[in-house]
Structure 1
């Protein structure tokens, strides 16, 4: 995996050293020598990660980081502070400015490459979500929402996996005022707990007594329900080799003992913010997908969805030698309802009719709004006689009870006409079934409406 890395340092030798190390690992490297140049380059080339020196003249790294994270176009780019500062207070200051991690000079080659790869992988995942969200809505995602508003200020839901009771309770005390914390001492039960709960972060001790903590991390990454769940490792100073292995398998962040409360809170906040941001992007994509196949007024599937799935269900019925029926339903004199009571009343009738239709069919039946006041029900494993029974029951259900409109003030009588078509032989197609059902509906209207007519009539 390659990525574009922006290296920012006011000392040319430091820039060249990092550039050489990263280029050797096939990363694409661009550089900047001061804070203002870094902001300009970042906006122009949109790197996958920024390696940012802290001590620079004019604008220091903390301020550069704050500005990167304040810009909606660059806020999702990971920033790693590369600095000789090694005080906890400096790390906390950087994390509060929005930094994703720290590398202390002199930087280990293994730590550098591992961290760049890990954060770049997360950035590329976010980029994919952003691209899908922007493409599905056919407009740029920037400016659509404020990140702080999206992530909110609600307490995070955190699962702590630590088998030393005193340490677990200390972590709970550190986090409890700002987050909802669940403790789990058994790693195998922790995996089930994580899968069943709506957690936003898992904190795992690398020093579990009778279980390989990295195995737990790997299992969390392999399950669908926990694959996107951030993992924060608690490590001992001498456990660097295993930490690097953890970063390779997908651990998001780590904290070295002894644990400082402010640094812990800052790192936890960063991970929860990133998860909420990515969840928001996924929700946007999912909503757009649903909107593409769902009728916004009734909540039923739309004509596009019906056409695709009817073809599939028809082929499956022919392959299995099973019956298939299609009902086309039309609300009688619907134009008169709109003309007499208004379009708002018409919308109320459509929504109520959709509810009655849903409540009178099976879960496997496909209910769709075909267009205007026409609806379609596709009924797998249903022959002509059973489909006629269902259609007649639905007709009576609609005609038997008045529809309430105008916010409950008025009631009107509504009836429907139904045309029924069924699968007829291996050469039959979904278009032919729909055509026969449509002709049957036409006969139902010609026969006086409020009736059911099948294609066998």
Structure 2
């Protein structure tokens, strides 16, 4: 996963060391050497994450963090404070100022890369929800969701997996200070059972269980639709960075080190609960807007109206962030034959199944829309031509390789699609031009025999 990382430190060797490590992992690194320059860089360059030194002359890291969080345009950028400070009070102060995590100098590479990737994944998802809400708001059907900090962290439903009676008592008593309803489980099986039967705001998972692996529960929670979006807070032994990295890779959101400091636990739990409630509000507004104006009534995916409003804004963001956006245009091969042979009701079944297969084989922040008839469009943010080609080929094969079951006589129909690709993100790119180039590539795919993928000539020259 590539991302734009802003490294802020007043000591040049520290900046060079972090920049070198990140560059070797294919991150795009920006640098600043003081607080005011960092704020200016954040406003101008819109990084995906900020690695922020605490001890800087003039404006220290805490103040920089507070200013980033107070600006609606930048408040959603993840911030990791990198510091020689190891006192718990400093970590709590940083978390309360809005930091997502602390890394202690000298920075451990495993912890660094795991945390950066985890927070960037979260930001990509949140950016897409916010952009969709903003697009939907243009139609006047919803009100804006406010900010994450405006969300309440009290009266949450929390599940704790812990087999140590002393640790469990401490965690439970601490979390109940916010009037939370805390439920305990001593085994992964019991925790999963309770998670699947409840509406949870947070799951706290100990990785120091005597007879079980708490990471197994993390994996199980992320594999179930009901619990996929519930935040997970790990409790780990000091120095167990391998477990932390694996947990973040599996989808955990944060971690706290044992022996757990009560104030730090509360600060991290509050952040996760607020973030979940803010994301739910974004999703609720988004779903409300879809039902009112922006979906295709037959297939349930977006319609042309939404694409016309959303794609120009996505291109603006792509240009500002220096990341390409790809478009796939596809339609069903010989669809008129399906309608003429089986009737329009069966044709509608095919359209719905094509939409469903498309949606199932894309990322959560990708976008599928029906433009009309048998023609569809897929919009892939932060995706270059090479990656778009892989996605398109996968989508083509998912549709072509498995026949479509239809209601007429319990039979099956073989369906294929032809796909055209275009990539945008340069100055001067327009939504109309991007769609036109994808459409031209689509017709080239049809002229080449159908059931294939063709890319616009520019797609090979606009890489991320």
Structure 2 length-normalised TM: 0.62
Match among 310, 315, 328 for residue 345 of structure 2: 315
Q: Deviations over 1:315-366 (max 9, x none)?
A: 14999xxxxxxxxxxxxxxxxxxxxxxxxxxxxxxxxxxxxxxxxxxxxxxx
What are the residue-to-residue correspondences of 1:424-435 with 2, within 5 Å?
none
What are the residue-to-residue correspondences of 1:36-435 with 2, within 5 Å?
36-138=36-138, 144-147=144-147, 150-178=150-178, 179-292=180-293, 305=297, 315-316=345-346
Structure exhibiting the larger radius of gyration computed from Cα positions: 1
Q: Deviations over 1:124-158 (max 9, x none)?
A: 11112122222233389xx9343157512532221
Q: What is aligned with 1:413?
A: none
In 2, Cα distance between equivalents of 1:204 and 1:16 = 36
1:27 aligns with 2:27: yes
| Distance verdict in 2 for CA 1:317–1:87, change over 3 Å | closer
Answer yes or no: is the 8 Å Cα contact 1:160–1:204 preserved in 2: yes
Answer yes or no: is the 8 Å Cα contact 2:161–2:187 preserved in 1: yes
Q: How far apart are 1:98 and its partner, in Å?
A: 0.6
| Greater RCO, CA 8 A, separation 6+ | 2
Q: What is aligned with 2:413?
A: none
Secondary structure of residue in 1 paired with 2:10: coil
Answer yes or no: is the 8 Å Cα contact 1:293–1:305 preserved in 2: no
| Distance verdict in 2 for CA 1:100–1:313, change over 3 Å | farther
| Distance verdict in 2 for CA 1:149–1:65, change over 3 Å | closer
Superposition CA RMSD, Å: 2.7
Q: Deviations over 1:404-454 (max 9, x none)?
A: xxxxxxxxxxxxxxxxxxxxxxxxxxxxxxxxxxxxxxxxxxxxxxxxxxx
Q: What is aligned with 2:460?
A: none
Q: Unmatched 5+ residue regions in structure 1?
A: 295-303, 320-457
| Distance verdict in 2 for CA 1:318–1:122, change over 3 Å | closer
In 1, Cα distance between equivalents of 2:348 and 2:144 = 47
Aligned residues between the structures: 308
Secondary structure of residue in 1 paired with 2:154: coil
1:4 aligns with 2:34: no
Answer yes or no: is the 8 Å Cα contact 1:54–1:60 preserved in 2: yes
Q: How far apart are 1:85 and its partner, in Å?
A: 0.4
Q: More displaced, 83-92 or 192-201?
A: 192-201
| Distance verdict in 2 for CA 1:317–1:52, change over 3 Å | closer
Q: Unmatched 5+ residue regions in structure 2?
A: 302-338, 350-464
